[in-house]
């Protein structure tokens, strides 16, 4: 009897400890969101969102950075979404169990573990130097696209896996070719899921700094870029500058907070939409 009481006490404290771990994590997240929300919210105004920085970036807004991040994310999407989806279609629909398939999967998993700064180095060599795109939106977008590719592949494959095999077999049994069965009976139902998964990848790419630092992001540009060959301002890089490189860091801290808030709203907004939609879709397919 004593033993069982002791067991219960230990279990009580054990579970309590685990619960504390969870509360700690949630508290950190809340602290983050609260700090940025409360201190950044005050500095946000229409002017902040719609004008360029002024007076050595101690006044004014972040409009060029918003536009720059938007443009570079578009390039990322153009590279990573179609390629990622097609690679996922190959892996989930066509690939047989073979050494090559295993190699491809291994490469994808390892690509997603390559540090973002290494992608930056690769971008400098391939896009900036070899392909002569210079430091530009194009180079930065392609670098980010490459980095996003393994995420979009994995996410798209997850979406394809939720489509029951009976859709494929049913189509094949009626005399559909492989591609017909995929095109008419798999993709229409998988594409919403594939897109939400890839949006998650894009959201992460939009918040990345290291890969764009040396491939196209600029310290300060009052004008908007005129072409994809121009340099650009980006929200995450702007936040980095405002919080560590500025000559009057303390003075511009409110602007840095506001930039962080805009960035986080943008990234988490995309993120949460995708997560919610994905949860709904999962329910539907069950």
Partner 1 sequence: MSAEALKIRMETRDLDFYYGSKKALDKVNIACYENRVTAIIGPSGCGKSTFIRTLNRMNDVIAGARVEGTILLDGRDIRLPDVDVVDLRRRVGMVFQKPNPFPKSIFDNIAYGLRINGMRDKKRLEAVVEGSLRGAALWDEVKDRLDENAFSLSGGQQQRLCIARALAVEPEVILFDEPCSAIDPIATAKIEDLIETLKKRYTVVIVTHNMQQAARVSDFTAFMMLGELVEFGVTEKIFTNPVNKLTEDYITGRFG
Partner 2 sequence: MTKKTTGRLKESAIRAFFFACGVLAVIALLGIFATLISTSFPAFKDIKLSEFLLSKNWDPTSPEMEEYGILSMIMSSFIVTLGALLIAVPIGVGVAAYLSDVAHWRVREIVKPVVEILAGIPSVVVGFLGIVLFAPLISKIFNIGHGLTALNGSILLAIMSLPTIISISEDSLTAVPPAYGEASLALGASRWQTLFRVKLPAALSGIIAACMLGMGRAIGETMTVLMATGNARTFPQLPQALLRSVRTMTANIAIELGEVPYYTAHYYALFAIGLVLFVITFVVNLVADVVLHKYQEREL
Contacts with partner 1 by CB under 8 A lie at 96-97, 164, 166-177, 180, 184-185, 189
- Residue 10 interacting partner from partner 1, partner 2, none (CB closer than 5 to 8 Å by kind): partner 2
Q: Which is nearer to partner 2, 24 or 78 (CB)?
A: 24
Q: How far is the CB of 158 from partner 2 (least distance, A)?
A: 13
Q: Convert the chain into a string of H (helix), E (strand) and C (coil).
A: CHHHHHHHHHHHHHHHHHHHHHHHHHHHHHHHHHHHHHHHHCCCCHHHHHCCEECCCCEECCHHHHHHHHHHHHHHHHHHHHHHHHHHHHHHHHCCCCHHHHHHHHHHHHHCCCCHHHHHHHHHHHHHHHCCCCCCHHHHHHHHHHHHHHHHHHHHHHHHHCCCHHHHHHHHHCCCCHHHHHHHHCHHHHHHHHHHHHHHHHHHHHCCCHHHHCCCECCCCCCCCCCCCCCECCHHHHHHHHHHHCCCCCCCHHHHHHHHHHHHHHHHHHHHHHHHHHHHHHHHHC
- Residue 114 interacting partner from partner 1, partner 2, none (CB closer than 5 to 8 Å by kind): partner 2
Q: How far is the CB of 6 from partner 1 (least distance, A)?
A: 49
Q: How far is the CB of 97 from partner 1 (least distance, A)?
A: 5
Q: How far is the CB of 223 from partner 2 (least distance, A)?
A: 21
Q: Which is nearer to partner 2, 53 or 123 (CB)?
A: 123
Q: Which is nearer to partner 2, 224 or 275 (CB)?
A: 275
- Residue 125 interacting partner from partner 1, partner 2, none (CB closer than 5 to 8 Å by kind): partner 2
Q: Which is nearer to partner 2, 163 or 227 (CB)?
A: 163
């Amino acid at each position: 009897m004593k033993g069982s009481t002791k067991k219960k006490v230990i279990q009580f404290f054990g579970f309590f400890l685990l619960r504390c771990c969870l509360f700690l994590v949630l508290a950190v997240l809340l602290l983050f969101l609260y700090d940025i929300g409360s201190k950044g919210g005050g500095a946000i105004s229409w002017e902040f969102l719609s004008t360029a920085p002024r007076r050595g970036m101690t006044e004014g807004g972040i409009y060029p950075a918003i536009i720059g991040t938007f443009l570079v994310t578009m390039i990322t999407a153009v590279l990573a979404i179609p390629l990622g989806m097609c690679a996922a279609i190959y892996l989930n629909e066509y690939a047989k169990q073979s050494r090559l398939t295993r190699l491809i999967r291994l490469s994808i998993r390892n690509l997603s573990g390559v540090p973002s700064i290494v992608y930056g180095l690769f971008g400098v060599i391939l896009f900036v130097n070899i392909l002569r795109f210079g430091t530009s939106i194009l180079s930065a977008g392609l670098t980010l696209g490459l980095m996003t590719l393994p995420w979009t592949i994995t996410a798209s494959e997850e979406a394809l896996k939720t489509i029951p095999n009976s859709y494929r077999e049913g189509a094949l049994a009626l005399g559909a070719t492989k591609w017909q069965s995929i095109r008419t009976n798999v993709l229409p139902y998988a594409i919403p899921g594939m897109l939400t998964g890839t949006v998650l990848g894009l959201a992460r790419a939009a918040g990345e700094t290291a890969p764009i630092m040396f491939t196209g992001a600029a310290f300060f540009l009052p004008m908007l870029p005129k072409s994809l060959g121009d340099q650009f301002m980006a929200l995450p890089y702007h936040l980095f500058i405002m919080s560590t490189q500025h000559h009057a860091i303390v003075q511009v801290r409110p602007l840095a907070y506001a930039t962080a808030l805009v960035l986080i709203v943008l990234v988490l907004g995309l993120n949460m939409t995708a997560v919610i939609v994905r949860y709904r879709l999962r329910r539907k397919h069950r």
